[in-house]
Amino acid sequence: MIDEPDRSWRRHSQRALTALVGATALLAACSLAIEYGFKPDRLPVPERILVGLQIAAVVMFVVRALAGIVFARERLDYLRSRWLEILVIVAGLLALFVEAEVSVRPRTLYILTVQIVLGVELVYHLSWAQVLLAQRHHPARLMVGSFLVVIVIGTFLLSLPRAGTPHRMGPATSTPRHVLNCAFTAVSATCVTGLIVYDTPNEFTLFGQAVILVLMQLGGLGIMVFGTVFGLLLGRRLTLSESVMMQGTLAQEAVGRIGRVLRFVVITTFLLEAAGTVILYNMWDDSIPPGGLRWFHSAFTAVSAFCNAGFSLQSDSMVSYRGAWQLYASVMPLIVLGGLGFPVLSDLFEWVGSHLLGKRRFPTASVIAGRADTLSLHTKLVLLSTGILIVAGAGLLLFFETPSRVNPRYPADLRADRRPQPPVMAGETWPQRTLDSVFQSVTTRTAGFNSVPMTLSAMSPASHFLMMLLMFIGGSPGSTAGGAKTVTVSVILLGVVSVMRRREAVEFAGRTIPMDLVRRAGVLLILMFGLVSLTTLLLTFSESENARFQEILFEAISACGTVGLSCGITSELTAFGRFVIMAAMFVGRLGPLTLLLALAGRERPSRYGFPEEGVIIG
């Protein structure tokens, strides 16, 4: 039996070793960023020091693992959960004793192995650190903190010399402004918005574009979800408290299904993005050579579409490819599926499976309703509202962009360099105009791609206002999309219908929606309206000399709804205006209510109530 002093010594030793490992890992992470962020002949630190830090970090990981074996009560279970450290040792020995005939030198192979394992270890421990922190902190605060950490890391990586093209840092761009622009890009990518101040294909290198790709994937999938699933793949098990934390993140009622839902989220995401990548491969013109670069181009676009990010490796977004069938067979379905939300995709998958393979093999989440072959109320509401918005939006855009209804006169107060082209959609044939209308109706609700220019003269004012409404509504809860959310607006409209019908309850599809959800939807809608109003007010104050009010309002709604569409004023924003847009994108991605919950103190239940008294409304 272990006495108390021995336990205390072991506990303090483990804490000291963990602190030492963390400090070494942080230095090694910085060394990796410096090695790959600077050109080999311009490293600020000698390469041998960088490699030494990386090897030292891996050694510390191994030492920590061996110490864990000594201190562990169940050593077999500990070895199963720490198989990665064992793999490090084996891979290192194999790299050291590799035969000379191999084209890669043993030292190079060993360093590369160390760096790969170091990267995996860092992601592993960072992922589970934020899961463990959720046991002590409110999930809303943890979500805000995790997004901030990823944004800071993304800003640092995008600011490295190797991430940008040489002409990006010209005489007109000071270092502080350059860092601000990189921070703007990191926020836009992590918050899956797509507003840019640097032209992604021309001012970011392949390394910088890869950083943006990772930020989009993290922001779209969810940082907490990604970290939890990464740990599950490495053999870690969810505790009850961690399952409860993820239950709120995934909007699931059954705690026991969290692990299954997490795997479904990640597998579905990567399968859909892979399918989109394959379809997009042959869409690009000869300027993108076949091979690895074209595959990267396709994967970047597929991830951006499914995550509703709106980043594109073409300067004109999708305008050059609006006649390609792959645009409508890959990008558009990815946007819709990403905007439906993972709860809806899971419900649809299990509903289809229960019909094709039988109910016993697919006991669905719809069991809540009492029948395994019935879609949930949430799924029905999302599908109906999404279908109505797509069809109505496309029909109205097609109507507004009819040649006889488009005013050919341009605003007289536009600067000469922004006086443009004639109306684009109105000049197209009926088939192409219909495709453009459907695509814009789909992408306007937070995806951010555009197949036609968005300038004031390219489309009619009515079309711009319609797109603002669609951007404000956004996608569905639990999805990669932003905005006020389709279910929020639908519940409010159902409440209006119940008042008009003089019904006390809010009803839909034979079900009664709880009044608590109706009140919550009202709060969300008001907060979203307040966010858009505040953003517009601040931008009107700072950008009135460079932009018209219609452009400012469009930009504000696009940022708050994490859409990414712009009338062309993003790159002309002042430093204050860029900070405003960054804050709007951040709050819009997390949700105003989530941010308020993160800032609020602990819940204090009221021990008493006041008498009711009515007021006059309406």
Angstrom distance (rounded) from CA 80 to CA 89: 15
- List the structure tokens of 62: 């191994």
CB 137 within 8 A of CB 119: no
Residue 502 inside a domain? The answer is yes
Domain extent, residue 581, equals 492-599
360 burial (CB, 10 Å; 0-12 / 13-18 / 19+) is exposed
Please report the pLDDT score of residue 115 as a whole number.
67
Number of domains present in the structure of the chain? 1
Please report the pLDDT score of residue 466 as a whole number.
94
Q: Name the pTM for this structure.
A: 0.84
CB 330 within 8 A of CB 300: no
- List the structure tokens of 365: 């989440």
Residue 148 inside a domain? The answer is no
CA distances 45 to 179, 417, 610, Å, are: 21, 46, 67
Angstrom distance (rounded) from CA 27 to CA 182: 23
CA distances 227 to 125, 246, 345, 602, Å, are: 9, 11, 21, 26
Residue 574 inside a domain? The answer is yes
Angstrom distance (rounded) from CA 113 to CA 92: 7
- List the structure tokens of 363: 């006991």
Angstrom distance (rounded) from CA 371 to CA 355: 12
Name 475's Cβ contacts closer than 8 Å, sequence gap at least 6: 308, 338, 339, 340, 341, 445, 446, 481, 482, 483, 485, 486
Residue 109 inside a domain? The answer is no
Buried b (16+ CB within 10 A) or exposed e, 207-230: bbbebbbbbbbbbbbbbbbbbbbb
- List the structure tokens of 600: 């609020």
Please report the pLDDT score of residue 167 as a whole number.
58
Residue 565 inside a domain? The answer is yes
CATH number reported for the structural domain that contains residue 514 in this entry = 1.10.287
SS3 at position 506: strand
CB 522 within 8 A of CB 494: no
Angstrom distance (rounded) from CA 293 to CA 412: 44
Please report the pLDDT score of residue 87 as a whole number.
66
**Pure H helices in 4-103:** 4-37, 47-71, 75-81, 83-96
Please report the pLDDT score of residue 404 as a whole number.
61
Name 275's Cβ contacts closer than 8 Å, sequence gap at least 6: 330
CB 267 within 8 A of CB 237: no
Please report the pLDDT score of residue 357 as a whole number.
66
Per-residue pLDDT reduced to its tens digit, 156-213: 999 988 888 765 555 556 788 889 999 999 999 999 998 999 999 989 999 999 999 9
Please report the pLDDT score of residue 561 as a whole number.
92
Residue 193 inside a domain? The answer is no
Which residues of the chain register pLDDT less than 50? 1-2, 99-104, 240, 253-256, 363-372, 409-410, 414, 416-417, 419-420
SS3 at position 30: helix
Residue 541 inside a domain? The answer is yes
Angstrom distance (rounded) from CA 311 to CA 210: 12
E strands present in 100-216:
none
Residue 470 inside a domain? The answer is no
